[in-house]
A and B are shown apart, each in its own frame.
Chain A
Amino acid sequence: MTIRVFLILSLLILSSSFLHVVRCDLDPDSEVVDSAEEGGDLGIVGEDAQDFGAGGSFSPAPGVETVSVFPRNPSKLVVAGEESELLVGIKNEGESYLNVIAIQATVHLPFDHQYLVQNLSAQAFNNASVPPSAQATFPYIFSISKFMQPGAFDFVGTIVYEIDQNPYQSTFYNGTIEVTEAGGLLSVESVFLFCLGIALLGLLGFWIRGRIQHFSKKTKRSPKVEVGTGTTDPSMDEWLQGTAYTQSVSSKSKKKK
């Protein structure tokens, strides 16, 4: 008995320590997850502090085409909280060099486009130029906040570039993406529910077995009725001879006579 109490207490203390470890892991992150990347001479620079959208959107330049590809992801599935990659292809059909400045994206509600759900971090490029009559590809790595509800959202991606010191902006993707929750088959909730379900089924099975045993024992035994000492005749008891009872019985019989 005491051993079991000790076991329960130790398990509770141990589980609370586990919960402590897990809680540290689940500290809420900032809404926009930054993608920290170091840049060099040519290539990708870390997230930019400049706000490209605030100054007003620029218009797309003529002779510039953009296309986007979700590599190895035709269904456009994005796991919330994990990094996803998107390739932006840009074709320069003009006469002069095109310098790509940054790529940025925003996530909106699917049914009401004006509601901004998340402003994804912009990825700036350093010395990324596309020669005339050439095509180039640029990667955009982003991660949607891990607290995002799973479902379909509107994803708008824009690429900001300049031609002859004039800034332009093109939208390379304006459509829906599918956000799924992180954490595969084995999560704490699913394991707990599964174990609880099995435990409840087991308890039900035990209870049913007990009832079956109870019913089967009842039919075998004959009903034993406890009668006590009330059926015996007091005059047949030997130890009552010579007591007040026999005297009263004899006086009664005398009276009747």
Chain B
Amino acid sequence: MAGWVIGSVICVLVALFSASSTIASSEGPFIVAHKKAKLTRLKSGSERVSVSIDVYNQGFATAYDVTLNDGGWTQDIFDIVSGNTSTSWERLDPGAVLSHSFELEAKTKTMFYGPPAVITFRVPTKASLQEAYSTPILPLDILADRPPEKKFEWAKRLLVKYGALISVVSIVVLFVYLVATPSKSSGAKGSKKKR
């Protein structure tokens, strides 16, 4: 009897321990980082790169001391215009999102392959610093040769976009005008008949 009770208690403890260990693995924070880079051609001949990074926490626990480091932008190609390639936050709660953006300027014509940004954070249950990587970005074609826009391309685009709407509205308006103004023609007809 006593042995049976002890055995069942041990089984329950083992089950709880295994359950807690599995829960602990999926209980931690899950950092999902989205990195976006947009190219804008300036009139001065240089290319401006706008980088924005969104950090989401899709886990079940808070991440502390979240540090973002996007050091992949080589110094000899890019110059920092505004913002900083690294930043840090105190905490990121589950379900929350943090954003960071900065701008760079590039003057040399090259094809740049950027590595993902690195995010480090701390978890209460583990002593070591946790690492997460953001999404990689597509290769950036800096100062690429763009073919000149053909003449009246903008007119063609407007026509394709709004041509149907304009024709529909004009048909309906003309129809209403034709139906609603019969007086002139009928008066002319009447005067003709009287002769």
B175 / chain A contacts, CB cutoff of 8 Å: 199
Q: Determine whether the beta carbon of B178 is less than 8 Å from that of A4.
A: yes
Most buried by B among A11, A43, A188, A196: A43
For the complex, is B164 an interface residue (Cβ under 8 Å from A)?
yes
Q: Determine whether the beta carbon of B172 is less than 8 Å from that of A67.
A: no
What distance in Å separates the Cβ of B79 from its nearest Cβ neighbour in chain A? 23
Q: A15-B167, A22-B160, A196-B172 are in contact. Are A137 and B139 (CB under 8 A)?
A: no
Q: A25-B160, A191-B165, A203-B179 are in contact. Are A69 and B58 (CB under 8 A)?
A: yes
Q: Interface 1/0s, chain B 152-179, versus A by CB < 8 A?
A: 0000000110011111111111111011
A137 / chain B contacts, CB cutoff of 8 Å: 31-34, 116, 132-135
Q: Determine whether the beta carbon of B116 is less than 8 Å from that of A136.
A: yes
Q: Determine whether the beta carbon of B32 is less than 8 Å from that of A69.
A: yes
Partner of B113, one of A4, A19, A41, A67: A41
A71 / chain B contacts, CB cutoff of 8 Å: 34, 54, 56
Of residues 83 through 123 on chain A, the ones whose CB sits less than 8 Å from some CB of chain B are: 87, 89, 91, 93
**Tally of chain B residues near chain A (CB < 8 A):** 46
Q: Interface 1/0s, chain A 16-27, versus B by CB < 8 A?
A: 001101100100
Q: Determine whether the beta carbon of B56 is less than 8 Å from that of A69.
A: yes
Stretch from A32-40, A51-59, A158-166 contacting the other chain: A32-40
Beta-carbon nearest neighbor of A74 in chain B: B95
Give CA–CA (A133, B129) in the complex, Å.
Answer: 10
Give CA–CA (A31, B172) in the complex, Å.
Answer: 35
B164 / chain A contacts, CB cutoff of 8 Å: 18-19, 22, 188
A91 / chain B contacts, CB cutoff of 8 Å: 30
B26 / chain A contacts, CB cutoff of 8 Å: 65
Q: A19-B164, A186-B165 are in contact. Are A42 and B172 (CB under 8 A)?
A: no
Q: A14-B167, A69-B58, A202-B180 are in contact. Are A87 and B135 (CB under 8 A)?
A: yes
Beta-carbon nearest neighbor of A72 in chain B: B54
B165 / chain A contacts, CB cutoff of 8 Å: 186, 188, 191
Partner of A40, one of B32, B54, B111, B167: B111
B139 / chain A contacts, CB cutoff of 8 Å: 38-40, 43
For the complex, is B136 an interface residue (Cβ under 8 Å from A)?
yes
Q: Determine whether the beta carbon of B160 is less than 8 Å from that of A199.
A: no
Give CA–CA (A144, B78) in the complex, Å.
Answer: 37
B59 / chain A contacts, CB cutoff of 8 Å: 67
A192 / chain B contacts, CB cutoff of 8 Å: 168, 172
Partner of B131, one of A7, A25, A87, A133: A133
For the complex, is A240 an interface residue (Cβ under 8 Å from B)?
no
Give CA–CA (A135, B136) in the complex, Å.
Answer: 13
A130 / chain B contacts, CB cutoff of 8 Å: 133
Beta-carbon nearest neighbor of B112 in chain A: A40
Partner of A44, one of B54, B138, B172, B180: B138
Would you list 11 pairs from A and B whose C-beta atoms are within 8 A, ordered by A residue? Answer: A22-B164, A39-B139, A42-B136, A43-B137, A71-B54, A71-B56, A135-B32, A188-B164, A191-B165, A192-B172, A199-B176
Beyond A135-B131, A206-B180: 10 further Cβ-contacts under 8 Å? Answer: A18-B167, A37-B138, A87-B135, A89-B31, A89-B32, A135-B31, A135-B132, A137-B33, A195-B169, A203-B180
